[in-house]
Amino acid sequence: MSVKTYRHTTVKDALRAVREDMGPEALVLATRMVAARGWRGWVGMREVQVTAASAPAAVRAAVPERRPADTPPPTRTARSARGGLVARLLASGLDRAMAERVAASASHAERRAASLPVLRRLLASQLEALAAGDEPYARVEVFVGPPGVGKTTTIAKIAARERATRGRTLGLVGADGFRTGAVEQLRIYASVIGAPFRVARTVEELDKALAAGRHSLLVDTAGRSPRDGGLRDLRRLLGGRRGVRTHLVMAADTSARTARRLLDAYQDVRPDRIVIAKLDEAESVAPLLAVIADCGIPVSYLTTGQQVPEDFDRATPAALAGALLRDDEWEAAVAAC
Ligand SMILES: Nc1nc2c(ncn2[C@@H]2O[C@H](COP(=O)(O)OP(=O)(O)O)[C@@H](O)[C@H]2O)c(=O)[nH]1
Ligand SMILES: [Mg+2]
């Protein structure tokens, strides 16, 4: 079996080069966006790198296709439409397992058309279990995560959006322990939004704050290390309480390894949801989403910039698919094919 890589500026050119060199039976094994060679790479330009194999039988044995025993084997055109679809999904950052699943769920016509709306719909249906979507608020929504990841800003966005679009009031609680300055940012947001605000500096104060008022509460916590006392207190306080939902906020460009470490570090507070923050700064959210899919914790919100309240969305299946496909890059790839 011969395996080769091909680098071109578009997916279409790379796939054409594979077919010309290895014939129509060639199988695409991997597609990545990489830095362009020479000066083009130095100025940040990128190109598509396709790895393909020329021995289909051997490769197909390594990547088995699941199909019912009585289904006839796919024709050459069907195989190449599926391979092309997988290649394009890989080029937009999806991992191979997800790309294969999406391609397998597509009808022959969908594989051939492979327009952006069709792809978004197919991918969205694969992501349904991961999207918490438009669920009602719990009595207490707690946000935890490393410092600077976007907890306070996300809370302000949620409260401000609810106020502006539905006239609904959510209470804000600053439970940022002992750092005096830390709760001030939330206090300012609360006064601009017109939301009730309480500070809780001790476990007892937090206990009282959580019981007070009739509104659902968004609780901002200290962005400190999970090993220190603040989180231990929080865990103790929330452990026995009903109607509490805990969101772990992670940056969209978190590597798979760091994501697993964070999930491990915060496992004692048992996150029920994950907020994917700073999508605007991430090259690809695919590595983080693969870890989230593994641990099975649904995503509640996606944040996409610093503007309050504009830059965030509920994590619906369609919004997650859009984040994964990076619509702008996808448009370019489709236009070129
Ligand atoms: N680019 C970008 N910046 C964000 C986003 N969300 C928050 N930030 C910025 O990240 C910084 C830290 O946010 P903050 O909410 O204070 O983080 P916290 O320490 O987790 O509470 C601030 O400068 C925010 O404006 C986002 O979605 N995209
Ligand atoms: Mg904060």
**Where are the domains positioned within the chain?**
3-62+75-129+328-336, 132-315
Q: Which atom of ligand 1 is nearest to the CA of 145?
A: 20
| pLDDT at residue 226, as a whole number | 57
- At 230-282, the pLDDT tens digits run 677 777 777 778 899 999 999 999 999 999 999 998 988 889 999 999 999 99
Q: Share the mean pLDDT of the chain.
A: 82
Higher-confidence residue of 231 and 74: namely 231
Q: Is the pLDDT of residue 333 over 70?
A: no
Q: Is the pLDDT of residue 67 over 50?
A: no
Pairing of strands 3-8, 46-53: antiparallel
- Nearest-CA residue for atom 23 of ligand 1: 306
What mean pLDDT is predicted for residues 28-57? 71
Percentage of the chain beyond pLDDT 90 is: 39
- At 289-329, the pLDDT tens digits run 989 989 999 999 999 999 999 999 999 999 999 998 876 55
| pLDDT at residue 115, as a whole number | 77
Residues 150 and 146: their CA atoms lie apart, in Å, by: 9
pTM value is 0.77
| Distance of alpha carbon 222 from the chain centroid | 23
Distance 290 CA to ligand 2 centre (A): 27
Ligand lying closest to the C-alpha of residue 248: 1
Distance 175 CA to ligand 2 centre (A): 10
| pLDDT at residue 138, as a whole number | 95
The best mutation among 185, 250, 275, 306 to test binding of ligand 1, ranked by most ligand atoms within 8 Å of the C-beta, falls on: 306
- Ligand 1 neighbours, Cβ below 6 Å, are 145, 147-153, 223, 277-278, 280-281, 303-306, 311
| pLDDT at residue 247, as a whole number | 97
CATH class of 132-315: alpha beta
pLDDT band at 48 (very low <50, low <70, confident <90, very high): confident
| pLDDT at residue 62, as a whole number | 37
What burial class does residue 151 get, using C-beta atoms within 10 Å of its C-beta: 0-12 exposed, 13-18 middle, 19+ buried? buried
What mean pLDDT is predicted for residues 8-32? 76
| pLDDT at residue 169, as a whole number | 96
| pLDDT at residue 197, as a whole number | 95
Q: Is the pLDDT of residue 11 over 90?
A: no
- Nearest-CA residue for atom 13 of ligand 1: 150
- Let me know: does 183 contact 199? Beta carbons within 8 Å: yes
- At 214-234, the pLDDT tens digits run 899 999 987 655 556 567 777
Higher-confidence residue of 143 and 236: namely 143
pLDDT band at 143 (very low <50, low <70, confident <90, very high): very high
Q: Which span out of 32-41, 44-53, 185-194 was modeled with the highest average pLDDT?
A: 185-194
pLDDT band at 335 (very low <50, low <70, confident <90, very high): low
For ligand 2, a single-atom ion, the residues with CB < 5 A are: 151-152
- Nearest-CA residue for atom 6 of ligand 1: 150
Distance 182 CA to ligand 2 centre (A): 6
- Let me know: does 170 contact 215? Beta carbons within 8 Å: yes
Ligand lying closest to the C-alpha of residue 151: 1
Residues 324 and 328: their CA atoms lie apart, in Å, by: 11
| pLDDT at residue 337, as a whole number | 45
- At 93-109, the pLDDT tens digits run 778 888 888 889 888 88
| pLDDT at residue 63, as a whole number | 38
Residues 6+ away with beta carbon under 8 Å from 30 = 50, 51, 90, 96
| Distance of alpha carbon 287 from the chain centroid | 8
| pLDDT at residue 56, as a whole number | 44
What mean pLDDT is predicted for residues 46-71? 55
